[in-house]
Every structure is written in structure tokens, then in C-alpha cells.
Structure 1
Amino acid sequence: MLAKWLSGLMAVDLPQPRIGGAAVEMAEVRKTYITGAGEFEALKGINLTVAAGEFVAVVGKSGSGKSTLINMITGIDRPTGGEVWVAGMPVHTLNENQIAVWRGRTVGVVFQFFQLLPTLTVLENVMLPMDFCSMFDRSERPARALKLLELVGVHEQAHKLPANLSGGQQQRVAIARSLANDPPLLVADEPTGNLDSRTAAAVIDFFKELAAGGKTILMVTHDNDLARRSGRIVTVYDGQVMSDRNAENGSSV
């Protein structure tokens, strides 16, 4: 059944991406949830543009809308109104199957709680996105996964189960997995929330290296010190972008 479903996904056609756009473009994006208490507007007309190769930190208090904003970009959730373009693709127009295929090829997602499959080895966890999207030749996937694990410094743990790794090591595996299909965009939602300060700083250093190499990095964080180590800080408050500034000198973007 799973193989049949994956085969069906591989047959999904995606629109041709728009050429020459930014890595991320959000235009008047709104998101309204229907709750038992009535409507709740989580995003209120967000406009945001991120160029390729930028490292952007999204900050804000709990409930400000920062995670909802990220979910619009990854296609995990759908906007109620407005447009979301990622690498030239109109994400807001895609159906569920198209989003699954597009996300697997275009966006690497790093979660706070790692989300590694406990019954798969570290190497198998990193190979999984390649298997899912049929990226790279099957015979090439183990070597590519091992190379990514070496890149994040945990290749010696390749044949262990995630439970046998420290939290910092598991997060590094999660980052390696997010890079499996060489996506142009990496989205990290509180990736350092469960790490000690030294390991968190190492993760940020690695993100900076990725951005210097051309990857676009969007990171949600509550840690202002870590945010200041990015290239740009976007502050979200009450569903709106309240400030958008250069992380180094504080000037508006």
C-alpha cells in the first residue's frame, strides 16, 4: 500500500516555477482559524521577501504567529488569503499531493524535537527523504547519507538507533536529514530549544556556513542572542511583522 501511494506521488505534476523570483515571497498572507470561541486571526496580512542565501531569524512571543508564518512557507498549513511563493512555486495553489512532492524536493525542515524514526538507524533516517522522493540513484543513497552525517560531525553514529545518541547528536542527524535532497530552502522551528548553549552555538555556526554556500535559512527562535547571529531578524507580533532589521547593525531591511 505504501509503495503504491509513493508511486502515485511520483506521478504528480507540478506547475512550472516562476523564473527570477526571490527564495520566499509572501504577499498579504492571512490565516484564520475557526475555534470553539469563534474566529482567530493568526496572521494579518503578512508581506515578506527573502532572497536566496539569506539567513533569517523569525522571533516573537508565544502565540505571536511566527510558527504559523513558517507553516505557510513549508506548506504544512494553508493561508486563508494571500499568496505564498517559494523558489518560484505558488505554494498557495498546490493540492495536498503536489505539496508533498514539492516539499520533499524543495524544503528541508528541522524540528525542535528531532522527529527521527526510532526503529531506523541514523543512516536510514537520513536516507528516508531520498527514498520518499526517489532522489538520487538507489545505490548512491547510503554514500550520500554518510557524507551528510560526516558534514555535521556524527558519521561515526551512522549505524546506531537515535535513542543511543545525545540530544545534540540527534539534532545534527535531523539537520543532515533535512539536507538529504539538497533543498534550496532550510526551515528550522526552534532547532536549538532542547540543546545546551555550546551545541546550540555550533548549530547556528553550521547554518551560517550553509547560507554562505547559497542555502536560504529561515529559523524560528525565542533566543534573541542566537537570532542576532543570523543575518536578519524578523519580529512577529500579533500576527503581523512588527520589525525587519539587519542582525548586525539593526538597520531596517
Structure 2
Amino acid sequence: MADRPRWSDGARLALTTFTVAPVSGPQRLDRAVGGVAMRLGPLVGVLLGLLLGGALALLAAGLPALLAGLLAVGLAALLTRGLHLDGLADTVDAIGSYRSRERALEIMKSPEVGPFGVVTLVLVLGAQAAALAAAADRPLSALSATVAAAVACGRLAVAAGCARGVPAARPGGMGALVAGTVGPVALAVNTLLVAAVAVSAVPQRPWQGPVAVLGGLAVALALRAHLVRRLGGITGDVLGFLSETATTVTLLAAVLFPAASH
């Protein structure tokens, strides 16, 4: 009974962090609640991905595939307030500056987007749109699984960024609230969940979806290690960077080979 408010507040924080769902924020906000939110992030990603997959199917029914993919990417940004895209741009600007750790963290906090960030946003959004266009002719169940697995893998990367032993880069902010709050069991369970969602993503190739998820997670873990060495830990922007990177890699890997005939 004592844990019920923590899980309720954690669910609210997960929804308000990962989506624009019109729910009230948590009444209690601490590291315990933050940890619950990060553990629930992949499940929220599955639900959001199913919604986006259905929207993509509707768009692709009447529009060219690439245009449908671009609109789906825009809808994803709208439904998440562009929060992770902002983290992607800020992190790339900070790392691309080749400045000291302290200066890199200052650049990350700046509201301006530099040239590195702009180019990265164009490339990532373009890659996501192209991958969605390539998947748009799949059966609805496979298309939904593809998008759901990719979006969920992005949130899985956020959970991995908050794994025990990973410090925060600075004492305040979102990173300090959630750093080190996700244990190995929760991370393993979430990985299995997202991989299971991906099994039906690629017609006639049930292995490709889970491999794409593991590939997205592996890239995120490698980048997490580099960013922790470079910055001394994670920040909220780093988590957004990891999310968009894992989502993009998963989408690309899921459409790596031409779709099998069906």
C-alpha cells in the first residue's frame, strides 16, 4: 500500500515526460518516483508507437510514402513536445564543441541550437522519415510493431541511461533526479518486452525486429559510456540524445533489407 502513491506518481511522470498526454503531474517528485517513471518509459513508448503506427498507416493510404513518413515524424515531435529532439541537438552541440567538460555543460544548457545540432536534427529526422516510408507498405500489424518497437527502444535507451552506477553530470536537473535509479532486473524485463513487441515487425523474418532493438540499445549503451566519460555523467539532454539515437538505429535496422514478399 505504501508503494501505491509512488507508482501512481511515477506513471504520471512517465506520461508527462514522454508524451503530451493531458494528465496532472505527480504530487510527489523525488528519485523514487523518477525511477518508476524511467522503468515505465518503454511501456509508454509502446503505446505511443502503436498510435504513431496507426497514424502512419492512415497517412500512407492516401499520400506518397515519404510524405507520410515526414508527417509521422512531425506528429511524433508534436506528441512529445520535441523534448528528445532538443536534447539531441544540445548534446551534439556540446560534444561537437570540443570544449572542457564545464564549458560543454554550459553549451548544453543554452537555449540556442548551433550548426552541429541543426545538421544532426536534419539527418536524424530525415533518416527516421525515410525508414518509416520504407516500412509503410507493411501489413498494419507489422507496421505497428515496427514503429512501436522503435519508439519503445528509444525509451529503453533512456532507462539504460539511468542504470545503477551511472552518475549525474551536475547536481540539479532531470539527470540528477533519475540517474542511477533503474536496476538490472527492470532493465532486462524492459528489454525483453520491447524485443517481444518487435517480433512481428518484419514479415517472414521474426528475428530482424528483436535484432534491430538490440542494435539500437547497443549503440545507445556505447554512446552513454562515451558521454559519461566526456561529461562526467548524464543530464536530461543526454537522455533525449540517447532516445532519438536508439529510435533511429532501430528503425533503420528494421528496414535494412527489402521486405519479404507476402
TM-score by length of 2: 0.25
TM-score by length of 1: 0.26
Considering fraction of residues, name the structure with more strand: 1
Considering fraction of residues, name the structure with more helix: 2
